[in-house]
Chains A and B, each alone.
Chain A
């Protein structure tokens, strides 16, 4: 039934998503207004849009942190519309804006990685981390080139924001997700660290051919990374650029396009200046 019209390459299919916060009150806020979207295997989609455009709500809907009021969400051909976050977790990897959100502070690096290794699977009473797992963690974390492999027994709370974000990224992709969601995951970092984490992101995503959504406030990054770009405004996708279109565009053209489609200019300074 939900497989009707489903193609193997459609990793994510969003149909007529509607989402309203505080319905029936004076604060009623219609955040998603009929979003339709299909992501294909290996799409690395950068997501831009002003504040309140619905970017985070869209990602939270895909992850199941929020359940949509109407419409349907299928990941890899499975209808997950009514599944809550932890039920979808085996399909979805996430990195949040706040570096503290993705890891457990008072636990060690390897303990955090062990939790991530079991993402979406049944957990039992097996004690500890096996030498084989330890070796695997070591190999994986070495790829980050941050020297964390020497500090596997260190509490995560002692790491810097950038190190935590890199670790979270690794944890989100250790068990390969069908969809990777990055919600401004470099916004809280200093420019140099942000650059490093973006480099790692690009490396992991392209090497593993992960279907990825990356929200960013930085127009240059939105054009530089990924092979598809969408622009949200007032709860709708107003622009959807393919790889070729994206490669031809400049920041100025992107802003012009935004003005044309939304009828307003981008007021968000962060977005202009970035």
Chain B
């Protein structure tokens, strides 16, 4: 039971990362690797500010703004300097490694004894065990609600259309470069938000906490889509959050079966490979069955 609660709460906190990845990967149709740098950036900013005595809510907001700025940089590299999106993301993520070290001043900041958002919620009377889940649910619902509204504004419509059909959007008089930059900013803001929450939940921020997060985000997106199919935009975002929770349960299960935590990244990569390959496998199976039918 404890494992289930932990897996679900972790899934919810990581859901914001998954939603951020969804915005670039699916809505903008642009793979963005900045996440590997903006996730620890969120943790670094939040932790560095909190040990300075800044309130956890302000620290988290600054972390989100930091993530958005990093997304802006990736956007400029991609749209104005015409560097391919994958490479733009790698450049941002590599640069951020040094920036994150600068922000933290060292490789690791402990938040033990610091007042975090989670402590704040616990002091409101939520049982300790359910605090991360509570925070995760609230944050996910707020984010999905706001994004739902945003994607139905005039700007939101054109942002979605940009990933769908760039040519059409330009013919409608929209500077698609600006839409891409905006999408990357929203995405990386959410990813940094997720990073700051994970750091507060873990009780520390670490320079290497971003390694492999893009794989985790993508796996959640794909699991969500495979399990729940195609729906309206708000439901799609909720499915991505559910995908993140399923992913955490898979990881918890695998660890429970006695896997060594050292192998965790390898397992993440394998889980993503399986989810990415599943449509292909299904197709070729259908084909084989179809042939037999003839």
Contacts and interface: CB of A to CB of B under 8 A. Distances in A.
Interface of A: 63, 65, 85-87, 89-90, 92, 94, 96, 100-107, 111-112, 114-116, 118-121, 123-128, 171
Nearest to A129: B152
A119 B173 contact: yes
30 contacts: A65-B170, A85-B170, A86-B170, A86-B171, A86-B175, A86-B176, A87-B173, A89-B172, A89-B173, A101-B167, A104-B168, A104-B169, A105-B164, A106-B160, A107-B157, A112-B161, A115-B157, A115-B158, A116-B172, A118-B172, A118-B173, A119-B173, A121-B173, A123-B158, A124-B155, A125-B153, A125-B154, A126-B153, A127-B152, A171-B172
B220 to A, nearest CB: 20
Contacts of A94: 171
Identify whether the interface residues of A are mostly helix, strand, loop, or mixed: loop
A127 B149 contact: yes
A195 to B, nearest CB: 25
Contacts of A125: 150, 153-155
Contacts of A114: 154, 157
User: Sorted from nearest, which 10 A-B pairs have the closest CB atoms?
Assistant: A89-B173, A120-B173, A123-B154, A104-B161, A104-B164, A125-B153, A86-B170, A104-B165, A119-B172, A85-B170
A92 B171 CA distance: 8
Interface of B: 149-150, 152-155, 157-158, 160-161, 164-165, 167-176
A115 B153 contact: no
Contacts of B167: 96, 101
Contacts of B160: 104, 106-107
Name, among B152, B157, B168, B170, the residue most crowded by chain A CB atoms within 10 Å (CB to CB): B168
Contacts of A90: 173
B176 to A, nearest CB: 7
A40 to B, nearest CB: 24
Contacts of B173: 86-87, 89-90, 118-121
